[in-house]
Chains A and B, each alone.
Chain A
């Protein structure tokens, strides 16, 4: 049974590209277009082993999603890696304080993302 990863990004193309990279490496994926959809997907997929999340998204941003997860006591399990165009240290520090396990500034490198996913999921 492949490990399931939740991809949260308002860009379909980014979700598609990340999905291709991760499924090629043996993972399965589910997708969400913003933080709110991500919360819904988490409720539907309790077997998610890792979350890859954008920061800037409409309706509910990545940081708001992290805050909601933390409030629900779910931060850290599954681990969250942020995949974003954002690279400012203050934003990264905020996310770290909320419990994210990794940060990637787009465009991502497939091999590195796969290696991180394997490490964080134990695959």
Chain B
């Protein structure tokens, strides 16, 4: 068939002229053969074009759906990150952070005041214990003096008894004095002994209390210093964490936005599909035109000169719009 069609090409040029012999007589057999060829071609082209459109549309739609899913997901992430950044970065967030910082500072101050007060009281306790210890020393001194007086009183008692015995009945007064002095010295001795015992117990206990107080004061001071250090460290960590969180969120936000832009770019590349579809449709229209022309020629309703030259303006030809202007919105 191809050789028949080739042999009928006498004048060259347009398709119409290729099927009209120079003599003017129409070889209907050749025309029928060509028509049959073109019809077959059109049928095949129809099937092919249909498949092309269906498959490309389906595949591109699937790709578009996938990209759209990524796009939507990323957009949600960006939105969430935006919200987080806004809440951290806005005035309310700053106030919240400032309030937290102020609360931490106030708590540290209150705890510091409490520790200072505790320290003052422990120091007072220690001072009181030392004072009590001094008092015990005085009591001891007093007891010794009483003890001395007691010894003298005993000597006086003994002397009074000796004198009473030497004077006989005349010394009865000395005997009574000696008796009373004896009871007095016993009482003083007992009191002195009790006081000494108490003083000794106090003397044994108070240094331990004072030592314990001093130890506690030192401990409180150490703890207070440690607390201040920890509090400062916590504030530094908090500030650094806030700054790091903001940096991380800003970085994530930037990455998310970049992904959204990429997705938009991918989607924009998929716009070739529209041009492809239109090109295929134009090819389909051209094939149908050829078929119609051949049919008319074969029927003798059209001469070769009446066949209009085929026009096939590319859909990629943007007419009066330059490439750089494609995609620009012209508003009227």
Binding site for B on A (CB under 8 A): 9-14, 16-17, 20-21, 24, 56, 81, 85-89, 91-92, 96, 100-110, 112-113, 115-116, 119-120
Contacts and interface: CB of A to CB of B under 8 A. Distances in A.
B125 interface: no
B330 A103 contact: yes
B49 interface: no
Mostly helix, strand, loop or mixed at chain B's interface?
helix
Instruction: Rank and list the top 7 A-B pairs by shortest CB-CB distance, nearest first.
Output: A87-B321, A88-B319, A87-B319, A107-B271, A109-B327, A87-B318, A116-B329
B68 interface: yes
A101 B272 CA distance: 25
Contacts of B57: 11-13
Interface string B239-267: 00000000000000000000010001001
A26 to B, nearest CB: 12
A89 B325 CA distance: 13
20 contacts: A11-B57, A13-B57, A13-B61, A13-B271, A13-B273, A16-B61, A20-B68, A56-B278, A85-B278, A87-B326, A92-B320, A100-B332, A103-B332, A105-B326, A108-B268, A109-B327, A109-B328, A109-B329, A112-B328, A115-B329
B101 interface: no
B324 to A, nearest CB: 11
Interface string B305-332: 0000000000110111100011111111
B229 to A, nearest CB: 51
- Which of B274, B327, B329 is packed against the most chain A CB atoms within 10 Å? B329
Contacts of A96: 332
Nearest to A11: B274
Contacts of A56: 278
B174 interface: no
Interface of B: 57, 60-61, 64, 68, 71, 75, 260, 264, 267-268, 270-275, 277-278, 315-316, 318-321, 325-332
A106 B319 contact: no
Given A13-B60, A17-B64, A108 B332 contact: no
Nearest to A16: B64
A85 B316 CA distance: 7
Given A87-B326, A107-B274, 19 more contacts: A13-B270, A16-B61, A17-B268, A85-B274, A85-B278, A85-B316, A85-B318, A87-B321, A89-B320, A91-B319, A96-B332, A105-B328, A106-B326, A107-B268, A107-B271, A107-B326, A109-B268, A110-B268, A112-B328
Contacts of A14: 271, 273-274
B327 A11 contact: no
Contacts of A116: 329, 331
A105 B327 contact: yes
A57 to B, nearest CB: 10
Contacts of B320: 87-89, 92
B68 A16 contact: yes
A103 B328 CA distance: 8
B274 A108 contact: no
A81 to B, nearest CB: 7
Given A85-B318, A91-B319, A108 B271 contact: yes
A84 to B, nearest CB: 9
Nearest to A91: B319
Contact of A104 (B264, B275, B327): B327
Contacts of B64: 13, 16-17
Contact of A17 (B260, B270, B328): B270
B315 A85 contact: yes
A90 to B, nearest CB: 9
A107 B272 CA distance: 8
Contacts of A106: 271, 274-275, 326-327
Contacts of B315: 85
Which of A10, A103, A106 gathers the greatest number of chain B CB atoms within 10 Å?
A106
Contacts of A16: 61, 64, 68
A92 B331 CA distance: 12
A9 to B, nearest CB: 7
Given A16-B68, A20-B68, A104 B329 contact: yes
